[in-house]
Amino acid sequence: MQAVIISGSRNPSGQTATAANAWLKGFASKEGDVELIFLPQSCIERCRQCEENGWGICRTEGQCVIEDDFASIVSKIRDADAIVFATPVYFGDLSESIRAFLDRLRRVCRHEAGRAGINGKSAIGICVAGGGGGGSFSCTVSLEKVLRTCGFDVVDLIPVRRQNLQMKLDVLRLTGEWLAAQI
């Protein structure tokens, strides 16, 4: 049983990582293996909107023309049983790195070949508002929209605020245990 956590934070010991690690602990306690990927440490270009009509081979082949870390991360998603997307809340929305990744993923998922191994896969969203604490809910709405456009089965979305992070760690751990039991 394999899960991948894709983090849009650059800080491996920050609040987003703390939240992601709580989920990981729950999933791992049920014998699940978890790989944690920090997107800002990967090379993920933004979409080039290749052709004049705004599309590219994403539409016709379900692949992206850009040669960076995108394809290898998508391959890990396809091989996993469940995916967690964890983002710090920036301006009440997704971080730039997770946005760039999901902007490209939703395009390749328009094609049957691109959707393979992604469509219907269980996904969980975690949005950590670590500043004033505002914007975690609007961020979960953004995340749900793009994950559904990709075709994921979004089984839970967990808004976290700096002020309730400690309490949410228990919720995250239990959610990891719960999802492991579903798989």
Whole-number minimum distance, CB 103 to ligand FMN, in Å? 18
Give 161-165 contacts, CB < 8 A, sequence gap 24+.
161/129, 161/133, 161/134, 161/136, 162/15, 162/129, 162/130, 162/131, 162/132, 162/133, 163/133, 165/15, 165/18, 165/19, 165/128, 165/130
CB atoms within 10 A of CB 173: 19
Segment contacting ligand FMN by CB under 6 A, of 22-30, 38-46, 103-111, 124-132: 124-132
Distance CA 108, CA 81 (A): 20
The correct pick among 3, 9, 44, 77 for binding ligand FMN (CB under 6 A) is 9
Distance CA 78, CA 116 (A): 7
Tell whether residue 16 is a contact of ligand FMN (CB under 6 A).
yes
Q: Give the length of the chain.
A: 183
Q: What are phi and psi of 166, to 5 degrees?
A: -60, -45
Residue closer to ligand FMN, measured from CB, 10 or 111: 10
Residue closer to ligand FMN, measured from CB, 78 or 92: 92
Stretch 39-98 residues interacting with ligand FMN (CB under 6 A): 88-92
What is the size of the binding site for ligand FMN (CB under 6 A)? 19
Residue closer to ligand FMN, measured from CB, 11 or 149: 11
The correct pick among 26, 32, 130, 151 for binding ligand FMN (CB under 6 A) is 130
Whole-number minimum distance, CB 147 to ligand FMN, in Å? 19
Tell whether residue 101 is a contact of ligand FMN (CB under 6 A).
no
Chain residues binding ligand FMN by CB under 6 A are 9, 11, 14-17, 88-92, 128-135
